[in-house]
Structure formats: structure tokens, C-alpha cells
Structure 1
Amino acid sequence: MAEKFSLKDELFNPTKVNQIAFEIKKAYALFEQEKFEQEVVIKFDELELKERIAHIRDMFRKYLPNDYIVATDILLKALPSELDPDKMDDDFGEFIYAPYSDFVVTFGCREEYLDFSLQALREITKRFSVEYAIRDFINYFPEETFKMLKACSLSKNYHERRLASEGSRPKLPWAKKLDTEYSQPISLLDNLFTDKTRYVTRSVANHLNDIAKIDASLVIDTLKRWKESKQQDEKEMQFILSHSLRTLVKDGNSEALELLGYSANPSIEVENFSIDNLEVYVGKALEFSFDIKAKKEEALMVDYVLYFQTKAGKLNPKVHKIKKLNVKVGERVSIGKKHPFKANMSTRKLYGGEHKLVLQINGKLYEEFVFHLNV
């Protein structure tokens, strides 16, 4: 039987620990490499991924000089070469370097070390992203940190540029909440939306998608301004638009859809909408079909909304994608779809009772069916 894959063991293991220990020994001759490796690795079996990061950070504290600046200088000298500056995407770096920024934020997020620590993070992020570490600095020293992030947004190094966006995202997954205004980083994004590196523009778009959950108007106004400036390649601007607006599109926001070229009130007729069974069982699928007849040439984003029964007895909507298509005058398109109701779903607990299916085209709701789910 194949061994179960373990992400924490893939990212943090004796070989990786030996790698950084060897690099530190080269930078600091007094480093007790063998003892460090032994004490780090011996606890791995009882530690989860984030705990391993903290454990290595604490071992840095134990085996490096007590002086924070001296210790950090050693870690910086021990860093490998910067990540490939010619790559355009998917160059996050090696996780084994995550404890380096954790060391900086844990022991160096103080006024007396501020300039030094922020500069250290700029160096580390060229090897492994410091998007999580920077957030404490934003919260405790917002003015100084945003000044540093502005410099990053104008850097020649795309890892620093990405940090300016990713580190200041209002809803960065698994990250500490920021105390600053969600709109403050817009000035940073203004420097970044023209970037030629997808690694950066994806972060910009994810950042705007975060803001869209708070302030849709700000996102739409910002994207309109960027699009009208024509400072970004048309194809890449389209990527930024679609990726930034994905939450608003799912919500059927008419302004977001129009910005993507979809009319909020398309000239179409929906006909022959039907479902195969008004009684659906878990483990089976809901099958439905319909026709779209175009009265004029239209770009269409065809979705369906399932209203799931909740434990409280209320219906909770969830938008699901079907397809994007362009139709000509008089064209008729037939669409069929199956939605499986799987048992033991990891993302949703299914409750029996009344459910609802509604067609959504360009954000506009059309015909609907009510059906019963049997659990």
C-alpha cells in the first residue's frame, strides 16, 4: 500500500533542515550544526506544519547569538541566491525558509529594530514570500510599513512587488486581520496593475476580489479607471478584470458583468426549462435542461443558483457555473446539466427538505423549480 502523502514532511524534513543548517554554518563558523539539526528534527513527529515553522524559529534563537541584529544578519548571509528573476509565475520559494521571516516578526517587530527588520523582510521575500510576517508590521507600524511597501511596489524585483499587494490584502487566507483601512493599499495597486508578471497581477486581482466583498463600488471604479488608462496589455487587463470580479459576478452584480462585456438585461428568451425529477436522493444527481433563444447578438454567462436547505430551516443560495457563450440573432442553444448530491461532502452538509433551482444568465434570475431532497 502506498504511503500517505504528508505535506508537512514534504516541506519540513531532515534533508531540508540539513540544507539550511549547512548554509548557516557557512555564514557563522561557531554554529553547532549537528546539535541544531538533531534538536530540530527530533520533535517533528509531534508537530504540525505551522508548529514546525515556529520550532525552527525557536531553534534559531537558541543556536544563534542573543543579539537580534547579529542573529538576523547571519540568517540573511545564509540565504541562498534570489529566486529566478526571469520567471513570470508560480515561484513561491521553498517553505523551509518560512522560519526566517517568522524569526524577524517574532523578535524584531519593535521600534528599535524597525528599519532593519523591514529591510530584512525585503531580502527574505526574494527567497520565500513574507506576506504573513509583514502583517504584524502593518498593524503596529502602519506608516513606516506602507512606506516600505510603496518602495516594494516600485522595485525591479517582482517578489518585492508582489509583496506590496499580497501582504496588504484585507482577506488574505490564514493570515492575521489587518487593522488598517481596506482602501489604503489602492495606491500600491495603482503601481502594480501594469505589471508584466502574472505572479504580481494575480495578486492584484486577488486583492481586489477581497475588497469586492467589502466595497464593490471601490473595486468597479478602480477597474474602470485602470481599463480606461490603457496602461496594461489588453489580454492581461481582461485577466485582471475577470479575476478581480469573480465574487461580484457570482453575486450577479450588474456593473461587474457589464464591465466584462455582459449585458445586465440580455435580449434572450429561456424556453423548455425542465428537471427530470422533483424528488432527488442523496447519492444521485439533479438533471435539468433548457433552451436559450437569442433576439440579438449577445455575450452570455450562464449559471444556476441552488438554494440549499440549512439546519435552521432556511434556504441558502450558492451560484454554480455552466458556461460562457456568444449567441447570434435568432440562434437557439440547448443546454443540459447534472448536479450531483454526493453523500459525506467535505464542503457542505446536506439537509433534507425543500430546495430550489434558479437559472441565472448575466446575473439576471430567470425560471425556477422547487424540488425535494431526500437524505
Structure 2
Amino acid sequence: MARGTGVSQGFSLADHLFNQDSISELAAEYAAALPDFDAPGFTHEVLSRFPDLALLERLEWIVDCLESRLSDDFPTMADQLEAAMVPELDPKQTDDDFGRFIHAPPGYLAVRHGLEHHRDRALDLIYETTKRFSMEWPIRPFLNRWPEETLARLKLWATDENYHVRRLVSEGTRPKLPWAKKLTMEPTTPLPLLYMLHADPTRYVTRSVANHLNDIAKTHPDLVVETLARWKTLGQQEAKELDWMTRHALRTLIKQGHEGAMDLLGFKADAPVSLKRLTLGDTTVAAGQALTFDVELEATKRSPVIIDYLIHFQKAGGKLSPKVFKLKQAVLKPNTPQVFAKKHVLKANATTFKLHPGAHKLVIQVNGRHLGEADFQVTL
């Protein structure tokens, strides 16, 4: 993570998560469990370097300072870390109970000191820690170093009574987990675990399963569609929840116009829909201003539709690169033209790309099929 990550318009995520109050609380937790723990010294040392460190750098520094005050013997260190743990997160919750970042250090110490010679004790420590703060990052080095053994442990955890543990099974094995260490196993290897988890009663778990499938879809699209269709047939998850999971898992494939994904959601690629009109508010738009347009569609029979629009942005080298955006999900009535309007602000300082002046293209896509396009110019 870049040094500036977490800072936007004066707000610092690093300062919000790691500050004098949170570090003092962490120090007090360890002092209460370990009589010889120097809470004031720990707090002073940790805070002394915070002004120069970004979010993840602060976490690593906290781990460094904690490590120096614990036993060099990992099994003993693990016992100390567990003794200082706060109570488990509320088991009656079902979603959005992430815990506190200051309780992540035991997982990082499990990797540092347990990966090679204390695998099982380290996994036990991760198991306990994830009930306080998710361990999807620390579990990944174990999946790379000990794939069979770690997957066997995750199979047991997939039926654990604690939903944070079950969620870790999916989240920790995601092929494209943001900011996390890359896994060396094939993206489809954890699929049997997702079969175990897809019927979970908690949204915290099913959201992770859906995100995991969305990751797999980027390399194995047909397999993901087949898997979701299979889960529908099995009937192990409530229909409403599985419908939500399916839409969430297929979001990338829907943007790409994948025919199988469209069909699974009830949107036909060959729906009898035509573009009657595409009108731009202006063919020249200044950076920071909005591209406005109207789309008029008509169908010869009742047709559920997903309407997307693609903007082909100008790149530095003169080529165009498309980006997909959602316009509307609707049902078109037979022989009844319907108009959809959109206002898209062309941000001059977008975080994911740089806006360049020159020729751009707008494309209208219905159920994955391109129906029409229009050119416009961007000025700075």
C-alpha cells in the first residue's frame, strides 16, 4: 500500500485506526494479561514513529514493538497472545462486524514465527484471532507453504459454529483478494469449500462466497455460471439469498455481456430489443462536467433487460479503452418505447484512471449486446 493510502480530503484512515487512544487500549489489554508487560513503554515506542508511517506500515511497526516484549519461543508467545485477547465478537451478529484493526497483530506474528516450524500451533492462533479480527491476510502464507494441510484445516473450519471462522474459509482463499499476498494454488482449488459455505445463514459469509466466485469468474467464467446453476438445483440456500448471491457473483460477467450469466439471471442476449434513439446533451464535454444522454429502447415482446453503457476513454497513447457502467435494470413492455436518461460526471481527478482530452465513444449495451454508439470530445 502506498504511503498516502487512507488519506483523502484531510481524513486519515491510519490516524482513525491507529492512534494514541487505540494503542493505549491495546497496551492495557496486554498489561492486564501479562504482568511484566510495560504498557507505557510500549505505547511511547509505538506512537513515536506513527507520524512517518502509513496504515499498513503502522500495523507492521505495532507488531515489531509487540514482538520484542513477548517470548522468543513461539508456543509460549502464542499462549501470551491468546491470554491477552479481548472477548470474541458478538456471535449474534450476522454481518458488518469486522472487529478492530488493533487486534490483527497475533496473525502476523503467527506468520513470522509459526509458518515453518510451528504450523499447527500457528493455525490455532489464527483460528482464535479471526474471532476478533479477520485473518484473511495471514492465512495466505500458510496456504502457499502448506496447501494440503491448511486446506484440510479450512475444511474443518467451514462447519465451525463461529461465522467469522466460516467466513475466513472463503475470504482467505479468494484468488484476487485486494492488497493480499498472491496464492500459488489454482483459482478453482477452494471450490469444494464454497460448496460447503454457499448455504450459510449469515450474509457476512455469503457475501464473501459471492465475491470469491466473482474472482474465479475472471479466469473461469463458465465454471462459475455452472456452479451457481448447480446450487440453485440443490436448493440448500434460501431462494432470495441465492438470487442475491448470484447477482453479486456475476457482476463482472454481466458487465462483459457473458451470455450464460445473462441467461442464468433471466436476461436473454437475443431479446427483441432495438435502440430507437441515442441523444447526447452535448458532443463536447469539459473535464469535471457531465456527459448527459437519453436512450430510447423498444421491444417487440416483454423483455427483462440490463442496460449498461460503455465509455471508451482516451488513453495517453491515443488508443481508446472501454469502461462499463450501469444504467438501468428494467422490463420493457411490448411495442412501448421507453426512455432512460443518464448524467455521467467526467472526473478530472479520478482515482483509477487519468482523464485525457480528445475523442471518446459512448456505447449502449443491452443484455450484453451492443445496440448503438455515439462519439464525443473531452476538453481539459
TM-score range, shorter chain: over 0.9
- Hey, what's the Cα distance between the residues in 2 that align with 1:290 and 1:59? 59
1:118-143 CA distance string (max 9 Å, x none): 01100000000010000000011111
**What is aligned with 2:6?**
none
- Hey, what's the Cα distance between the residues in 2 that align with 1:216 and 1:131? 24
Unaligned runs of 5+ in 1: none
Q: Does residue 286 of the first structure (1) align with residue 291 of the second (2)?
A: yes
**What is aligned with 2:300?**
295
- Calculate the TM-score normalised by the size of structure 1: 0.96
**CA positional deviation for 1:279:** 3.0
- Hey, what's the Cα distance between the residues in 2 that align with 1:64 and 1:40? 15
**What is aligned with 1:11?**
17
Q: Which among 81, 93, 96 is matched to residue 90 of structure 1?
A: 96
Q: Does residue 130 of the first structure (1) align with residue 135 of the second (2)?
A: yes
> Greater CA deviation, 349-358 or 281-290?
281-290
Amino acid at match of 2:144: N
**What is aligned with 1:46?**
52
**What is aligned with 2:351?**
346
Helix, strand or coil at the partner of 1:63 = coil
Amino acid at match of 2:190: P
Helix, strand or coil at the partner of 2:140 = helix
What pairs with 1:79-158 in structure 2 (closer than 5 Å)? 79-110=85-116, 112-158=117-163
Q: Does residue 315 of the first structure (1) align with residue 326 of the second (2)?
A: no
**CA positional deviation for 1:6:** 2.0
- Hey, what's the Cα distance between the residues in 1 that align with 2:130 and 2:265? 34
Q: Does residue 331 of the first structure (1) align with residue 331 of the second (2)?
A: no
- Hey, what's the Cα distance between the residues in 2 that align with 1:37 and 1:283? 45
Q: Does residue 74 of the first structure (1) align with residue 57 of the second (2)?
A: no
**What is aligned with 2:246?**
241
Helix, strand or coil at the partner of 1:323 = strand
Shift in alpha-carbon separation, 1:276–1:103, aligned structure 2, 3 A: same
Q: Is the 8 A contact 2:359 2:377 kept in 1?
A: yes
- Hey, what's the Cα distance between the residues in 2 that align with 1:172 and 1:17? 27
Unaligned runs of 5+ in 2: 1-8
1:290-339 CA distance string (max 9 Å, x none): 21122111111111111111112111111111111112223221122222
- Hey, what's the Cα distance between the residues in 1 that align with 2:34 and 2:285? 67
**What is aligned with 2:259?**
254
**CA positional deviation for 1:268:** 2.0
Amino acid at match of 2:112: T
Helix, strand or coil at the partner of 1:79 = coil
Q: Does residue 60 of the first structure (1) align with residue 71 of the second (2)?
A: no
Q: Does residue 163 of the first structure (1) align with residue 134 of the second (2)?
A: no
- Hey, what's the Cα distance between the residues in 2 that align with 1:204 and 1:20? 32
Q: Does residue 187 of the first structure (1) align with residue 165 of the second (2)?
A: no
> Greater CA deviation, 329-338 or 175-184?
329-338
Q: What RMSD in Å do the two structures reach over aligned CA positions? A: 1.5
Helix, strand or coil at the partner of 1:85 = coil
Amino acid at match of 1:21: A
Q: Is the 8 A contact 2:106 2:125 kept in 1?
A: no
- Calculate the TM-score normalised by the size of structure 2: 0.94
Calculate percent identity across the aligned residue pairs: 44
How many residues align? The count is 372
Q: Which among 360, 366, 369 is matched to residue 374 of structure 2?
A: 369
Q: Which among 30, 36, 47 is matched to residue 24 of structure 1?
A: 30
- Hey, what's the Cα distance between the residues in 1 that align with 2:35 and 2:71? 12
Q: Which among 210, 214, 237 is matched to residue 232 of structure 1?
A: 237
**CA positional deviation for 1:159:** 0.4
- Hey, what's the Cα distance between the residues in 1 that align with 2:237 and 2:174? 21
Q: Is the 8 A contact 2:274 2:371 kept in 1?
A: no
Helix, strand or coil at the partner of 1:42 = helix
1:252-295 CA distance string (max 9 Å, x none): 11111111111111122221222233333323332221211221
- Hey, what's the Cα distance between the residues in 1 that align with 2:288 and 2:64? 49
Helix, strand or coil at the partner of 1:370 = strand
**What is aligned with 1:174?**
179
**What is aligned with 1:275?**
280
Helix, strand or coil at the partner of 2:373 = strand
